[in-house]
Every structure is written in structure tokens, then in C-alpha cells.
Amino acid sequence: MRTYDFVHLAMLALNEDICGKTKLQKTIYFLGLLAGCAQELGYRPHYYGPYSDDVADAIKRLKAVNFITQDTTRFGAVNDAGFEIARHDFRLTEDGRAIATQKAKTDPKLWDRVQSAVKTFKAAGDLDYMRMSVAAKTFFILEQEGGKANAQQISENAKRLGWSPSPAEVDASASFLQRLGLVSTS
């Protein structure tokens, strides 16, 4: 499986715009986990949680061949680092949809896994990009800790990666992770 194909099929299965680069990265992260493809997607710690250069590259390539469009909304503000605040929204083009449909027929096993992952993901409820980022950080750390840690421990361990979710934010993300079937709480 290539990351490029996974991202393309995920966009087809999602069948909706994804609003923001962070939300796109975290959505693909969770879909990769649910589809059993997370290792191949190349996620690593990053400022807003797990991030994949391979996923970012796949998006760039899909845009370059006009399979995905990216609309940018500028807010006329600058952040603390001096960068303009903007949101990037992504959607499949008609050509992108047609080619992804062909890919789905070519690799029905991967397509079934992606569709199943999207169904589970959507049933878990829509989170804004910040809450999804905390959920991704929480799960990433849980995996590093062998699946057992409480909210306080996760919050403390997050600091090693430059992340700062509070125990309350970690605790709130647990219900989303439960709905995804990725964790159980005790």
C-alpha cells in the first residue's frame, strides 16, 4: 500500500471537504489506525500531534495532478510567529473521484478497509481540529506506553514531545477514542 493511494481512497470514502491541514492529518491518522495501515503512513510526533510527511506529500501530489483542490481562507491576522493565519480546505475533484473509484476496484481489500474505517470514524462523531489533535496525541502516547496510562500520566508524558494537553483535555478525548474502538477505560 502506498500512502498516496490510501489518502486518495480515504478522501473518496469520506465524501466531504476536510477543513484544515491539521484536521486532514489527524483524520488520515485515525483512518490509518482503524484500517490497520498506520505504520505504513509514517506518522511521527509534531507540534499539533502525530504528523506524516508522507501524507503531506501525498496531498501535494494529488493537488499537482488536479485530483484534490485546496481552497485557502485568509483571516487577515498574524500569529505570534509572524505567519498569516489561514485555513486550507481540501476536496476531491471530479477527476480525482473517477481515478479513486478505479483504484477502489483495483484494490477491493484496501477499499473495504478504508470504507469500514470511515464508517467507524464518522459514527464516533465530528471533532474540531483542536480536540481531534488532543485525541491523536493521547492515543500516540498511549501506544508508546503500551496502552496503559491515566490522563495525568499522558499529560506529563506529552511534555517530552513538546505537547501540552491538560489531564482534563486528555480525559475528554478518551470518549472519542472509545467510540473509535481504540481504547477502553477502567
Task: Measure the CA–CA gap between 16 and 24, rounded to whole angstroms.
Answer: 11
Rounded to two decimals, the pTM is 0.90
At 157 the pLDDT is 86
Task: For residues 110 and 5, give the distance between their C-alpha atoms in angstroms, rounded to a whole number.
Answer: 9
H or E segment at 90? strand 84-92
Find cell 470511515 and name the residue: 118
110-147 per-position pLDDT tens digit: 999 999 999 999 999 988 888 999 999 999 998 888 87
Residue 75 pLDDT = 59
CA distance 96 to 154: 39
What pLDDT sits at residue 164? 85
Task: Please give the pLDDT value at position 146.
Answer: 80
In the chain, the amino acid numbered 103 is K
Residue 170 has pLDDT above 80, yes or no: yes
Cell 483542536 sits on residue: 130
Instruction: Enumerate the β-bridge partners of residue 90.
Output: 18, 70
* pLDDT score, position 167: 87
Q: What is the mean pLDDT of residues 17-27?
A: 92
Q: Which residue has the higher pLDDT, 80 or 168?
A: 168
Predicted local distance difference test score (pLDDT) of residue 120? 97
The pLDDT value recorded for residue 82 is: 58
Cβ 68 vs Cβ 90: under 8 Å: yes
Q: Which residue has the cell 498516496?
A: 4
Quote the pLDDT of residue 77: 58
- Range of lowest pLDDT (3-12, 15-24, 47-56, 68-77): 68-77
Query: What strands, in cross-sheet order, belong to the sheet with 68-78?
Result: 18-19, 84-92, 68-78
Per residue in 65-116, pLDDT tens? 999 999 877 656 565 555 556 678 899 999 999 999 999 999 999 999 999 9
Query: Mean pLDDT, to the nearest integer, of 34-55?
Result: 92
pLDDT tens readout for residues 29-40: 999 999 999 999
Question: How confident is residue 153, by pLDDT bands cut at 50, 70 and 90?
Answer: confident
